[in-house]
Amino acid sequence: MTPPTLNPLLWTVPIIPLLPLGGAAINGFFGRRSSKKAITTVALAFCGLAFFAALLIAASFSSAAAPYSFPVAHWIRAGNFQVDFSFYLDQLSLVMLLVVTGVGFLIHIYSVGYMWDDDGYYRFMSYMNLFMFFMLTLVLAKNYLVMFIGWEGVGLASYLLIGFWFTKDSAASAGKKAFIVNRIGDFGFLIALFLMIKHFGSLDFTRVFTAVRPLSPETAGAGLLTAIGLLLMVGAAGKSAQIPLYVWLPDAMEGPTPVSALIHAATMVTAGVYMVARSSMIFERAPMAMMVVAIIGTLTALFAATIGIAQTDIKKVLAYSTVSQLGYMFMACGVGAFSAGIFHLMTHAFFKGLLFLAAGSVIHGIGGEQDMRKMGGLRVYMPWTFLTMSIATFTIAGFPPLAAFFSKDEILWKAYSSPYGSWVYWLLGVITAFITSFYMFRLWFLTFFGDYRGGNANDAAHQPAIAHAAHDHSDHGHGHGEPHESPWVMLGPLVILAILSVGGGWVGIGGHFEHFLAPVFQSGATVEMAREATGEAAGKGTETLLMLISVGAAFLGLYLAYLLYQKRRDLPAKIAQSLGGLYQAVANKYYIDELYAVLFVKPVVDGSTTILWHDVDQGVIDAAVNDSADAARHISDNVRHMQSGNLRSYAGWVAAGGAVVIAYMVWMGVTH
């Protein structure tokens, strides 16, 4: 480990998380009485400073001198176990730092325009800055415990921001659901941390990985590292919305669209992927855990994609798309292609952030409507939004030479060729890519082409067919006028993200990106050597073939969507009817929420009511207090008879007491 560098610029690393914290504090405490201009300035300034500092750091970053660590303060000293507030900068955290600050800053700018008319503007800006603080703590942490602080903190910020319009029941419930499901994942994370403390004596990355390095891979059976890996995966599944803990992400669309873009697309949900990538040393020595990660990722990708086909709310489609793309990232990590997973994380931040922001622009422009069946033909009304969203849609479908083509292709290739991978992963990945392309273009056609089907913005007759879609934004009632383009404060970030979506993948050409991240993922496991060998052996020919197949899948999806939603508009309804029950199941998200409600929620709530409330709270705690008061009353009721006011009874008591004293004295005199 190198000592802190001579370059003083790099010492701003510990300060970077504190900048948005300062902004959050100022806006939180003083924002209520400040002008919107002041709030905006504070929020954007601190966030922008963080981004600017990140750029400077990137400029002075030297791979040779990496990794850098920045111990800031002591924290826990308990015997041999110690944890400090320390920060860490290596290639992986640098990439995450740039993504988080960059995309975060753009979304902050966007939300200035989006949330301007909201009463809780200052609160929103404060929460957004607070989220940035926690996310930056997470990615810059040097040990698992500081990372956990950021982990929990982003969960908190997510809760606050999902339930931002807390007067709405559905929003408040969605916030609660997100936090609670996250906590379930955190339980697994914590157990993994405890195992690490017990067996490695530390939570510091360097120490843990140094202790893990000499261990041999657990190919024989499940051991300590498999347990840790699986538990970490539980935590990641909660935070990054994988099976079975993904249910909170679609509900999280109750929050404002910038929140969905920042937290539930670009940054927070990627924390799980980051954590798994960071723990690559552990995972590579636990093949069983890797397999579980890959399986969960692949299944989630396919599962969520199928649900996305039948959604009618534009944000819900994007939510399930996020779950699906996160599945891709986990698939990549599960087959050992950690840098591919991070690559896709980066491009996903660009195009998914862009998709959400553009969707927000669409919603904003048509007065709050989110149902795609009420949209259509909007490319005429909002050309810039149409342009940027189209770029994003083509990107996510995987068309070359846009960004996601490179990252998704990398993942599919590694899924096929890696020693942990198999053609099954690859096949399911390609099918998912096809479905992804299909539903994204479905969204594209429904929203921007055809005739405008929208009526009033505050139409109360919304079909409650699909679960809970919050349509009524209180702050976007721009009247029942025509759809209109969004202001430039919102379009600017869209354009920048579009540029990044186009060119963001070019860093992956020739393996530059993978090469850059290689020092982080050099785990020294024997499998890694085999991996490189096999990768080359499979040959360039197979790779090109597979690439062509995935591009073909993208085109197929585009064609199918064109067919169903542009050319023959009547077909979708007919298909839906003929599929009958199957379609209903997909449209209702396979009834997973209802299943969970019956399996988990209801027993817990009932148990809580019966046991904890009636038996413990009322029966024991309240009863203890009430009964002791009752006992006091009864005792005093009985004792008060002693004070009768009758002189002779008093004298009687005195005489009896005197007899007792005399007896005692006699006894003492006799026995001594």
Cβ partners under 8 Å of residue 335, min gap 6: 290, 294, 414, 415, 418, 420, 421, 425
Structure tokens at 33: 């009485």
The CA distance from 442 to 564, in Å, is 8
Beta-carbon neighbour count of residue 17 at 10 Å? 23
Cβ partners under 8 Å of residue 85, min gap 6: 71, 72, 73, 74, 75, 146
Largest CA distance in the chain: 118
Note if the bond before 244 is cis, omega within 30 degrees: yes
**What is the closest distance, in whole angstroms, from the C-beta atom of residue 663 to another protein in the complex?**
6
**What is the closest distance, in whole angstroms, from the C-beta atom of residue 670 to another protein in the complex?**
8
Task: State which residue, 465 or 666, has the beta carbon closest to another protein.
Answer: 666
Structure tokens at 40: 């905006």
With 0-12 CB in 10 A as exposed, 13-18 as middle and 19+ as buried, what is 479? exposed
Binding positions for another protein, rule: CB under 8 A? 644-649, 651-660, 662-663, 666, 669
The CA distance from 145 to 220, in Å, is 31
Helix (H, G, I), strand (E, B) or coil at 143: strand
**What is the closest distance, in whole angstroms, from the C-beta atom of residue 651 to another protein in the complex?**
5
Structure tokens at 448: 């921007």
Helix (H, G, I), strand (E, B) or coil at 345: helix
Task: State which residue, 612 or 660, has the beta carbon closest to another protein.
Answer: 660
**What is the closest distance, in whole angstroms, from the C-beta atom of residue 650 to another protein in the complex?**
8
Task: State which residue, 62 or 649, has the beta carbon closest to another protein.
Answer: 649
Task: State which residue, 620 or 651, has the beta carbon closest to another protein.
Answer: 651
Quick one: how many helices (H) and strands (E) in the chain?
27, 2
**What is the closest distance, in whole angstroms, from the C-beta atom of residue 635 to another protein in the complex?**
19
**Backbone φ/ψ region at 216: left (φ over 0), alpha (ψ -120 to 50), beta:** beta
Q: What is the DSSP letter of 116?
A: T
Task: State which residue, 511 or 657, has the beta carbon closest to another protein.
Answer: 657
**What is the closest distance, in whole angstroms, from the C-beta atom of residue 657 to another protein in the complex?**
8
**What type of residue is 355?**
L
Cβ partners under 8 Å of residue 71, min gap 6: 84, 85, 86, 142
**What is the closest distance, in whole angstroms, from the C-beta atom of residue 630 to another protein in the complex?**
27
CA distances from 306 to 323, 587, 633 (A): 11, 9, 67
**What is the closest distance, in whole angstroms, from the C-beta atom of residue 660 to another protein in the complex?**
8
First vs last Cα of the chain: how many Å apart? 81
Task: State which residue, 474 or 644, has the beta carbon closest to another protein.
Answer: 644
Structure tokens at 483: 């759809």
**What type of residue is 194?**
F
Task: State which residue, 383 or 652, has the beta carbon closest to another protein.
Answer: 652
Beta-carbon neighbour count of residue 149 at 10 Å? 16
**What is the closest distance, in whole angstroms, from the C-beta atom of residue 646 to another protein in the complex?**
5
Task: State which residue, 451 or 637, has the beta carbon closest to another protein.
Answer: 637
CA distances from 3 to 7, 66, 68, 151 (A): 11, 10, 7, 27
**What is the closest distance, in whole angstroms, from the C-beta atom of residue 665 to another protein in the complex?**
9
Task: State which residue, 609 or 644, has the beta carbon closest to another protein.
Answer: 644
**What is the closest distance, in whole angstroms, from the C-beta atom of residue 638 to another protein in the complex?**
14
**What is the closest distance, in whole angstroms, from the C-beta atom of residue 606 to another protein in the complex?**
56
Task: State which residue, 624 or 662, has the beta carbon closest to another protein.
Answer: 662
Phi, psi of 84 (to 5 degrees): -120, 165
Task: State which residue, 503 or 652, has the beta carbon closest to another protein.
Answer: 652
Apex 172 CA angle, 167 and 178, nearest 5: 160
| Beta strands, E only, 333-456 | none
**What is the closest distance, in whole angstroms, from the C-beta atom of residue 654 to another protein in the complex?**
8
| Beta strands, E only, 236-330 | none
**What is the closest distance, in whole angstroms, from the C-beta atom of residue 664 to another protein in the complex?**
10
Task: State which residue, 552 or 658, has the beta carbon closest to another protein.
Answer: 658
User: What's the per-residue H, E or C state across 468-521?
Assistant: CCCCCCCCCCCCCCCCCCCCHHHHHHHHHHHHHHHHHHHHHHHHHHHHHHHHHH
Task: State which residue, 481 or 669, has the beta carbon closest to another protein.
Answer: 669
Task: State which residue, 380 or 665, has the beta carbon closest to another protein.
Answer: 665
Helix (H, G, I), strand (E, B) or coil at 78: strand
The CA distance from 199 to 201, in Å, is 6
